[in-house]
């Protein structure tokens, strides 16, 4: 179980004294997650999630917490950070930063249908538009500078053929990042990690309802197209090969475009952006696999998955972005 910092019932009771969330009822650890310690927290006023941040510092957290607060206040279904009696939204527990957020309904869908994809695409587009007037600016900390720092570290673990693939993909992204069309892509706060396990659905498999977007702790200001590419590279593919399932991709992209139409510049950048999104997660999985943190208790994700996705985006067919009507 991904609970790195134990929390007792008495710890939770003491923490709740800083909030107006009612009396403590129960606390249960959540198995999912590799970066933070999470608990389901029940009080007499409702269901919440208590997160203890194991990597991010108190100085880094305001962007993520305030972004979720901003989106929730603007009607986007995301965890709503709870405000303490002193007006702040960050606490300290066992000398680590902590926060309490609302618990969303539903669970994640491991085998999404076109209906799930459409709901995810639509909701992400609403989140992008709602974030346009968010005032805190923080770059995507796993963006191009991080790729350039990480690539030399993982290259020695790869075969010559895979070294060539990684180097070529990174060179493409480095070159494009300096061009005017790339710089001028629509951008703003982005989730940057909207895999299928970071979206909750209520309802049934046949008739899903949006529960909400979760786990914003890789978010940052980036091109919105990158956010879309990260998502469809996970939601709309056959896992063994990494190839797109056209019906899923079309549903995801059409639903997004009905809320926020894609620009011509985004349509031109789309193939390369898909490769960049695959490269980002190939790099992070290579790093976690070959250089795991000493205290890491969970098995790292298989890096060969995104190796296959990157190869598929280099040589396979991709869905076109819908044109504005």
For residues 197 and 269, membership in a common domain is answered with yes
Cα–Cα nearest to 225, from 217, 233, 213 = 233
For residues 98 and 158, membership in a common domain is answered with no
What pLDDT sits at residue 178? Answer: 97
In a domain, 4, yes or no: no
First-to-last C-alpha distance (Å) of the chain? 48
Question: Which of 76, 102, 128 represents a domain boundary (last residue)?
Answer: 102
31: helix, strand or coil:
coil
Question: Which of 52, 81, 102 represents a domain boundary (last residue)?
Answer: 102
Rounded to 5 degrees, φ, ψ at 295 are -95, 5
In a domain, 320, yes or no: no
Question: Which of 102, 135, 169 represents a domain boundary (last residue)?
Answer: 102
Neighbours of 5 (CB within 10 A): 16
For residues 82 and 124, membership in a common domain is answered with no
Contact 45, 54 (CB under 8 A): no
> Quick one: CA torsion of 29, 56, 65, 225, rounded to 10 degrees?
-110
Number of domains in the chain: 2
For residues 87 and 118, membership in a common domain is answered with no
Q: What does R_g of the chain's alpha carbons equal in angstroms? A: 20
Sheet strand arrangement including 91-93:
24-29, 36-43, 46-53, 96-102, 91-93
Beta strands in 70-169 (DSSP E): 91-93, 96-102
What pLDDT sits at residue 297? Answer: 53
The CATH number assigned to the domain holding 64 equals 3.30.200.20
Its domain, for residue 26, covers: 9-102
For residues 140 and 39, membership in a common domain is answered with no
For residues 161 and 252, membership in a common domain is answered with yes
59 CB-contact burial (10 Å; exposed 0-12 / middle 13-18 / buried 19+)? exposed
For residues 58 and 200, membership in a common domain is answered with no
pTM of structure: 0.94
What pLDDT sits at residue 300? Answer: 75
What pLDDT sits at residue 4? Answer: 82
CA distance 259 to 255: 7
CA distance 261 to 259: 6
For residues 84 and 26, membership in a common domain is answered with yes
325 residues of the chain, pLDDT tens digit each? 456 889 999 999 999 999 999 999 999 998 766 678 999 999 999 999 999 999 889 999 999 999 999 999 999 999 999 999 999 999 999 999 999 999 999 999 999 999 999 999 999 999 999 999 999 999 999 999 999 999 999 999 999 999 999 999 999 999 999 999 999 999 999 999 999 999 999 999 999 999 999 999 999 999 999 999 999 999 999 988 999 999 999 999 999 999 999 999 999 999 999 999 999 999 999 999 998 876 545 667 889 999 999 999 998 889 999 987 5
For residues 151 and 255, membership in a common domain is answered with yes
What pLDDT sits at residue 1? Answer: 43
The CATH number assigned to the domain holding 201 equals 3.90.1200.10
For residues 142 and 60, membership in a common domain is answered with no
For residues 217 and 83, membership in a common domain is answered with no
């Amino acid at each position: 179980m991904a609970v790195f910092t134990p929390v007792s019932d008495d710890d939770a009771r003491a923490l709740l004294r800083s909030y107006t969330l009612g009396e403590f009822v129960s606390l249960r650890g959540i198995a999912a997650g590799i970066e933070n310690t999470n608990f389901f927290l029940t009080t007499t006023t409702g269901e919440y999630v208590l997160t203890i941040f194991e990597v991010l510092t108190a100085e880094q957290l305001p962007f993520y917490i305030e972004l979720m607060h901003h989106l929730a206040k603007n009607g986007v279904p995301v965890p709503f950070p709870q405000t303490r009696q002193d007006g702040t939204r960050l606490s300290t527990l066992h000398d680590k930063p902590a926060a309490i957020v609302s618990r969303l309904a539903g669970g994640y869908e491991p085998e999404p249908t076109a209906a799930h994809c459409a709901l995810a695409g639509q909701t992400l587009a609403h989140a992008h538009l709602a974030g346009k007037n968010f005032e805190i600016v923080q770059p995507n900390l796993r963006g191009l500078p991080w790729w350039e720092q990480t690539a030399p570290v993982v290259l020695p673990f790869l075969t010559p053929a895979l070294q060539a693939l990684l180097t070529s993909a990174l060179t493409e992204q480095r070159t494009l990042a300096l061009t005017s069309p790339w710089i001028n892509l629509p951008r703003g706060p982005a989730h940057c990690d909207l895999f299928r396990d970071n979206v909750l659905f209520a309802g049934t498999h046949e008739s899903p309802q949006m529960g909400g977007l979760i786990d914003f702790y890789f978010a940052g200001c980036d091109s919105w197209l990158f956010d879309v590419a990260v998502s469809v590279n996970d939601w709309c593919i056959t896992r063994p090969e990494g190839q797109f399932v056209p019906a899923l991709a079309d549903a995801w992209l059409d639903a997004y475009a009905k809320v926020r139409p894609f620009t011509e510049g985004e349509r031109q950048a789309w193939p390369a952006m898909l490769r960049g999104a695959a490269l980002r997660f190939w790099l992070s999985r290579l790093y976690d696999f070959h250089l795991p943190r000493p205290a890491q208790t969970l098995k790292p994700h298989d890096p060969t998955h995104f190796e296959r996705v990157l190869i598929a985006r280099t040589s396979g067919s991709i869905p076109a972005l819908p044109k504005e009507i």
